[in-house]
Amino acid sequence: MADKKPKDNQAISIKALEERINTIGRAVLGNEGFGKVMNSAVTTRSRVQRGFSDQMARQLHFYNMPSQDDVIRLSEQCARIEERVVRIETAILQLTNSSTAQSGPPRTRRPKKAKSTAARPKRTRSAKKE
């Protein structure tokens, strides 16, 4: 029975703490003024961030360097070009596979051996003039 009291006291104190935090939260967050302040804070933050981004882009443009938007745009363009290259490669492979399949059966005979040049004498300049 001695073990139940500390658990009960602990549970009671946690419950009381949660209730106090809930009442404070309702009082602060449930207020219309808090909502307006948070809305204006978020709006102001996004405006400042956008202004900073625009200013940074102007500075980077002045130094002839790409901004983050430029890099993103270029990476998207590279991805589209890679997709096109892959499609072209597959089309070429399909065309080459279909053209070799239509040319006929595979070659089964070995090519003739080349005639040796030792049997025929080489011509010299003097032989050409005659």
Of 48, 64, 80, which residue is a domain's last?
Answer: 64
pLDDT at 41: 95
The answer to whether residue 106 is domain-embedded is no
| Prediction pTM value | 0.42
Q: Are residues 60 and 72 in the same domain?
A: no
The kind and range of the H/E element at 67 are none
pLDDT at 1: 46
The answer to whether residue 119 is domain-embedded is no
Residue 119, φ and ψ in degrees, nearest 5: -70, -30
Could you tell me the two tokens for 75? 């990476």
**pLDDT tens-digit profile of 4-20?**
555 688 889 999 999 99
Say if residue 92's pLDDT is above 70: yes
Structural domain boundaries, residue 80: 66-99
pLDDT at 113: 79
pLDDT band at 83 (very low <50, low <70, confident <90, very high): very high
